[in-house]
Chain A
Amino acid sequence: MNNQRLLVWIEGTLIAALAMALEYIPHSIGFVDISYGIIPLAVYSLRRGWRAGLGSGLVWGLLDLFLRGFGSGGFLNPLQGFIEYPIAFAAVGIIGIGAAPLQRALKLQQRGWLFGLALGATFLGVLVKYGFHFIAGVIYWGSYAPKGMSPVIYSLAINGGSAILNLILAGIVISVLLVTAPHLFRPKNG
């Protein structure tokens, strides 16, 4: 294992730990769940690419499952649990598909491109994550809602609100970080 690859996945490990630590920050907007953990994952994925992002997201998902999910009844159906934790959290790494063009835009100081790419990729990652939560919700409601009731509507109502709030959160925070701390997006030894 070469030095660069080791550094990339150790960074991913620390980012997964940071994402988990941020989940414990007090936050409440009614019943809707805000996930601060998406922000470090977005920065890391834009810094190191989608493969590294998927790995770090997977570790974040497993951490969340061990430290919160199992103990708080987040795993109520085998397929729902599998999609809700490892898959949905890993999917945030998709943000990394914007990494290569973002690095070019950073080098060339193309501000318009920079924000467009960062926000576009972040929105895609958040949407894919909540897309998986939606599927997990459909499976959950499919096995727990009364017969004849559409599980799609329940899952959409619960996950749709969270997706919108997290899109706004991630979009604003990533934009602020691009202005105030662009060096966070530039990989060291990159």
Chain B
Amino acid sequence: MMNKLLFGRFIPGESFVHHLDPRNKLLMSFYYIGIIFLANNWSTYLCLFLFTLLAVYLSSIKMGFFIRGVRPLIWLILFTVLLQVFFTRGGKVFWSWGPIVLSQYGLVNGVYIFMRFVLIIFMSTLLTLTTPPLSLADAIEAILKPLRVVRFPVYEVALMLSIALRFVPTLMDETEKIMNAQRARGVDFGEGNLFQQMRAVVPLLIPLFVSSFNRAEDLAIAMEARGYQGGEGRSKYRILTWHYRDTFVVLAFIALTGILIWLRA
């Protein structure tokens, strides 16, 4: 459980995508979610689909992991797609019943929206499957650096994030232990109405708070004893390096944007 959470959904590997700089992967994932809205016809969606498929192939991760990424959102996707299918008017009408219309535009829009969802989920799944959360924290630190100009505590937030990522599994294990102790006394978590679920969670919280505050005190004392003086000028254990392949990926995304603008209706 601990390792699973520590690494998020990360699957270790030696592929082209695994070796990309996490800053690049994070920025390009955001960029991709932005440019996907440029697609508005079959050719633009096909272009994005092929690009995403190539990225998945270059990650050497089985397709099943990406398809599983779609599963948690399937109801939201279906709901959104059905709204598009039955409430978009235009083109040939195949069937209608009151305000509900099954039209040619509705069907086409439904397919486009479905594609958009799947492509975004595939690309963000690619990011989490090929990048450990700690590297993502390093990437966030690098990306937020310009905010130091407005005195945003970038180093502190990045360090908080790294420490928190380290402690999530520990606190989860502790939560699990206390939950098991409560279960042995007959408590059912996630069962019953809201009030019963709330009543079950209170005995969990107090020991977790106490242990978190105690851990924080120990950690602060340890950091102070080792001479921690804030973020400025600290050396790093994990150093991010930009390679030619990262520049190549940025150029590929720029080319993709150009093609989408050229192909869009």
The residues of A with any CB-CB pair to B shorter than 8 Å are 1, 3, 6-7, 9-18, 20-22, 24-29, 34, 36, 39-40, 43, 55-56, 58-60, 62-63, 66-67, 70-73, 75-78, 81, 143-149, 165, 168-169, 172-173, 176-177, 180-181, 184, 188
Question: What are 9 of the A-B contact pairs (CB < 8 Å)?
Answer: A1-B230, A6-B223, A14-B164, A27-B190, A40-B208, A55-B153, A73-B72, A73-B73, A184-B209
- Is B98 close to A, CB under 8 A? no
Does B24 reach chain A (CB closer than 8 Å)?
no
Additional A-B contact list (7), CB under 8 Å, known A3-B220, A71-B9: A14-B216, A71-B129, A73-B69, A144-B84, A146-B109, A180-B206, A184-B209
Contact (Cβ within 8 A) A17 B189: no
Cβ-neighbour of B216 out of A11, A25, A60, A169 (below 8 A) = A11
Task: Tell me, yes or no, whether B140 is within 8 Å of chain A by CB.
Answer: yes
Determine how close the nearest CB of chain A comes to the CB of B83; give it in whole angstroms. 6
Q: Taking A13-B216, A70-B127, A172-B198 as contacts, is the C-beta distance between A28 and B190 under 8 angstroms? A: yes
Chain B residues with a Cβ under 8 A of chain A: 5, 8-9, 29-30, 33-34, 37, 69-70, 72-73, 80, 83-84, 87-88, 106, 109, 113, 116-117, 120-121, 124-125, 127-129, 133, 136-137, 140, 153, 156-157, 160-161, 163-168, 170-172, 174-175, 179, 189-190, 194-195, 197-198, 201-202, 204-206, 208-210, 212-213, 215-217, 219-220, 223-224, 228-230
B125 neighbours in A (Cβ, 8 Å)? 70-71
- Is A66 a contact partner of B160 (Cβ separation < 8 A)? no
User: Are B216 and A7 neighbours in the complex by a CB distance under 8 Å?
Assistant: yes
Query: Given B30, B33, B163, B189, which contacts A10 in the complex, CB threshold below 8 Å?
Result: B163
B69 touches A17 (CB 8 A): no
List B contacts of A16 (CB < 8 A): 160, 164
Q: Which residues of chain B come closer than 8 Å to A24, judged between CB atoms? A: 172, 175
Q: In the complex, what residues of A have CB within 8 A of residue B140's CB?
A: 62
Asked if B160 and A77 make an inter-chain contact with CB atoms under 8 angstroms apart, the answer reads no
Complex interface: chain A residues within 8 A of B164 (CB): 13-14, 16-17, 20, 59-60, 63
CB pair A66–B137 under 8 Å, yes or no, is: yes
Measured CB to CB, the closest approach of chain A to B41, in angstroms, equals 17
Q: Contacts A16-B160, A71-B69, A71-B124: A63 and B109 contacting too (C-beta < 8 A)?
A: no
- Indicate whether A26 sits within 8 Å of B190 (C-beta atoms), given known contacts A59-B157, A67-B5, A71-B8: yes
Minimum-distance CB pairs A-B, first 9: A26-B190, A17-B167, A21-B171, A73-B121, A11-B216, A17-B164, A1-B230, A7-B220, A14-B212
Complex contact A27–B197 (CB within 8 A): yes
Closest residue on chain B to residue A72 by CB atoms: B72
Q: Please report the C-alpha to C-alpha distance between residue A22 and residue B117 in the assembled complex, in whole angstroms.
A: 28
